[in-house]
Structure 1
């Protein structure tokens, strides 16, 4: 399915990836823009975003954080849409230029990521967060330079660990980052494709 043409306003970046998850629907991703900062402030300061670590952030602090990511050569943030509405935030980063890179042997082709699902605006969609994860990995592995996706979820974030494992992440060991105790986990392309195939045939 082709992406919608969003050239109506020059300030809105074009969609760069589309992915359909069976039983859930179509997701679309575009680069984050400064016009999104107000929306992100609502998301990151909500009680449900406690593991994001920005609940006390001001709008100016949120804008500064994401402006830095947009301008960085080592990060790339995206806003994703579902059914035409903002659905989740994706942050990608080069672990060689991140604190995580001090805790494992970074390999060429590694990419790190974080994601935050938007507050629900309608009836719950069964399997939505797993569909978000599948979309993220499909997007990252669609780029040949990405060989492994690495993550460092908070050890206390019990909801994300089964989602990560179901998507193909292999949990390695815990690490002590400056701001949290985290699990370090890796997913390569083969593991993701195998996990996706198992889900499709289940």
Structure 2
């Protein structure tokens, strides 16, 4: 499916850093997290059963806010908006500054990511896949990013399938202090090749 991608970095009237329009579906935007206005919603998401791998079940709103202030010290945190509704959360980080960097040989151009999609009120076919393409298009739109690194929980079978569809290649199981994880890499070439077969 063709898409239209723009970079509104010269638009001083908006905080939006990336836009992708998917014909027949709608407009996706990425903007930095607003710690005051977004945290109540994020708190709702991370306390739901489906977000158990986010490891914040039982956190208070203040706990979630404090956590994101800490995360922002080492990562860029974005809110994904779909047709003007908040739809997902994205964290982008440098793996060499993260615990995962102690478990594999990092390379210049590596970019780590974590994503959390909002609970769906109305099912949209392939919505999570569309979110995934928005995120990977955004990360790879920066020429400095050569490879995306992910370390999802080994039990999170849904994300493993999504990663494989997007071109991620499984490396090995990692025994991290807080979880058993799959180390997976996706280069720009891997991603674009995967898109051709979708």
TM-based fold match above 0.5: yes
Q: Secondary structure at the match of 2:31?
A: strand
Which structure 1 residue ranges, 5 or more long, are not aligned?
A: 8-12
Q: Is the 8 A contact 1:152 1:184 kept in 2?
A: yes
Equivalent residue number for residue 20 of structure 1: 21
- Please state how far the C-alpha of 1:23 moved relative to its aligned partner: 4.7
Equivalent residue number for residue 134 of structure 1: 133
Please show how residues 1-202 of structure 1 align to structure 2 within 5 Å. Answer: 7=13, 14-34=15-35, 35-70=37-72, 72=73, 74-121=74-121, 123-199=122-198
Q: Is the 8 A contact 1:3 1:28 kept in 2?
A: no
Q: Deviations over 1:133-188 (max 9, x none)?
A: 11110000000110000000111111111110000100010001111101000000
Aligned-residue RMSD, C-alpha: 1.7
Per the normalisation by structure 2, the TM-score is 0.91
Q: Which runs of 4+ in 1 moved over 3 A?
A: 1-7, 21-24
- Please state how far the C-alpha of 1:197 moved relative to its aligned partner: 2.1
Tell me: CA distance 1:108–1:171, structure 2 relative to 1, closer, same or farther (3 Å). Answer: same
Q: Is the 8 A contact 1:75 1:94 kept in 2?
A: yes
- Please state how far the C-alpha of 1:54 moved relative to its aligned partner: 0.3
- Greater RCO, 1 or 2 (C-alpha within 8 Å, sep 6+): 1
- Please state how far the C-alpha of 1:83 moved relative to its aligned partner: 1.4
